[in-house]
Amino acid sequence: MAEEAENVPVIYLHEIKREYRQGEATLTILNGAKLALWAGQSVALVAPSGSGKSTLLHIAGLLETPDDGEVYVAGTPTSQLSDIDRTQIRRSDIGFVYQSHRLLPEFTALENVMLPQMIRGLKRSETIKRSQEILAYLGLGDRITHRPAELSGGEQQRVAIARAVANAPRVLLADEPTGNLDPGTAEHVFNALMQLVRATQVAMLIATHNMELAGRMDRRVSLVDGQVVEMD
């Protein structure tokens, strides 16, 4: 059974279709897209703006429902699940990192990382210990009592990464996580992400325009005519 589990993708998008109405016209964003994400694998999603990168991430993260096709999480189809069940999967199995850190300004770094764990129902003492460990792992052990306004852009984004992995998700989805950062800081944040992938075996899909960073990931994919194609 363990070997079977290893052969199942963490997330599998099968024949995903997504369209939007634009006035009288129908705009096809995804048209039969397929993508498998495996444990411990980093995948770069490189495509022009407007090609559907964010839509693909939102569908993979169960934030958006495709018009057709299926999203499997650890082999389980999700299209017929209730909103409550989909929310539960997002809380336990999926972590999100955005271009803007989206931290809560009134809370400290530690409290921002604790919050998703407390929402999940973990004990406060457990969330404090785990949050301290993750922040220290990301080089922020001496910044845990600082609020976002007191942190640099790179530090804020590393707190956002810590928050995203706080519940030990199976997959980490990141939408231009280094897009707002200078090259040196972007390198630091990228290294933190790759370090987490190696340490935790989380599957990671990053939408990025940075070809240098994409080139250092395990796979590179793009979107062409609404379908996912392997690069290289």
pLDDT, tens digit only, all 232 positions of the chain: 344 445 899 999 999 999 998 888 999 999 999 999 999 999 999 988 888 999 999 999 999 999 999 999 999 999 999 999 999 999 899 999 988 888 999 999 999 999 999 988 889 999 999 999 999 988 999 999 999 999 999 999 999 999 999 999 999 999 988 888 888 888 888 988 898 888 899 999 999 988 998 999 999 999 999 999 999 7
Q: Beta-carbon neighbour count of residue 34 at 10 Å?
A: 13
CATH architecture, domain 11-230: 3-Layer(aba) Sandwich (3.40)
The pLDDT assigned to 10 comes to: 95
Global pTM value: 0.89
The pLDDT assigned to 1 comes to: 37
